[in-house]
Amino acid sequence: MDFTPIHETLARIEQDPRSGQSLLLYALVKTLAIPQGGHNYLLAKLKEMEPDTRQLAYGLMELMAQGGYVKEEWQLAEAKMDRAIRG
């Protein structure tokens, strides 16, 4: 399983946690990580993403589809994102 998308997302969020692109990715990660939550993320949000951010989002969705969101590597990256967003 390739965890590159979650690591790249973490790096972006840590680099600039207040940017719109970081916040869009963070919201996607949080949504994808909710078990049985229906993964409710408005696809219209993809239009707000820059092309490189959108490609990263697609990678996150693929990783989620492979079950990566239940793995420790995803959960550790998500915890680091939480800290970065909180400041």
Could you say which residues of the chain have pLDDT below 50?
none
Burial class (CB in 10 A: 0-12, 13-18, 19+), 71: middle
Q: Which amino acid is at 58?
A: Y
What SS3 class is residue 41? coil
pLDDT at 21: 96
Distance CA 80, CA 58 (A): 21
Using a cut of 0.75, tell me whether the model's pTM lies above it: yes
pLDDT at 45: 87
pLDDT at 40: 65
Q: What is the pLDDT of residues 38-57, one digit of tens each?
A: 566 677 888 999 999 999 99
